Structures are given as C-alpha cells and as structure tokens.
C-alpha cells in the first residue's frame, strides 16, 4: 500500500516506499532484507486511483522468497450455460 507520503518518498529517492497499515509507518522495500526495488517508472490507471511501480528488483520481492507476492492462483468456477 502506498499513501501520498510513500509515493512522494518513492519519487524523491528512486526506491520503492510503502505505508504499512499494520506497523503504522512508512518503510522502504528492502530496509531489512536488502531486497530493494529501484523504481524505473510509475504508471497510473485510467481512473487515477491505482499505481504500479515498474522496478528493478534486487532479490525476491516477497517475504516468502518468491519472485513476486502474486505467485498464487485463484480457481475460477465456470458458470453453467443457461
């Protein structure tokens, strides 16, 4: 999650910053693990309410050791035809 302060810090430093709602504070990705995200681009959706950081990743992005936090799939049920 990135609030305004996290986005501003990201834009000013070139490294991905996020706001931890659990910890209640701003943090830089990799501050503990060393797995930093150097931000190459910030993209915004058509509504202007979602961002994607395009990054150069050092090490795994996910605390589980996976390359991305989006490594699990969701099974979608097929609907019966009417």
User: Domains, the chain, ranges and CATH?
Assistant: 1-82 (3.10.20.810)
pLDDT band at 66 (very low <50, low <70, confident <90, very high): very high
What are the φ and ψ backbone dihedral angles of 10, each rounded to 5 degrees?
-60, -50
* Residue 42 burial (C-beta neighbours within 10 Å; 0-12, 13-18, 19+): middle
Q: Is the pLDDT of residue 80 over 90?
A: no
Q: Is the pLDDT of residue 81 over 90?
A: no
């Amino acid at each position: 999650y990135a609030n305004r302060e996290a986005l501003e810090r990201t834009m000013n430093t070139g490294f991905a910053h996020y706001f931890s709602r659990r910890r209640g504070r701003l943090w830089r990705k990799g501050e503990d693990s060393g797995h930093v995200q150097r931000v190459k681009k910030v993209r915004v959706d058509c509504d202007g309410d979602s961002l994607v950081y395009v990054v150069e990743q050092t090490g795994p992005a996910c605390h589980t050791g996976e390359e991305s936090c989006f490594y699990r799939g969701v099974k979608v049920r097929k609907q019966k035809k009417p």
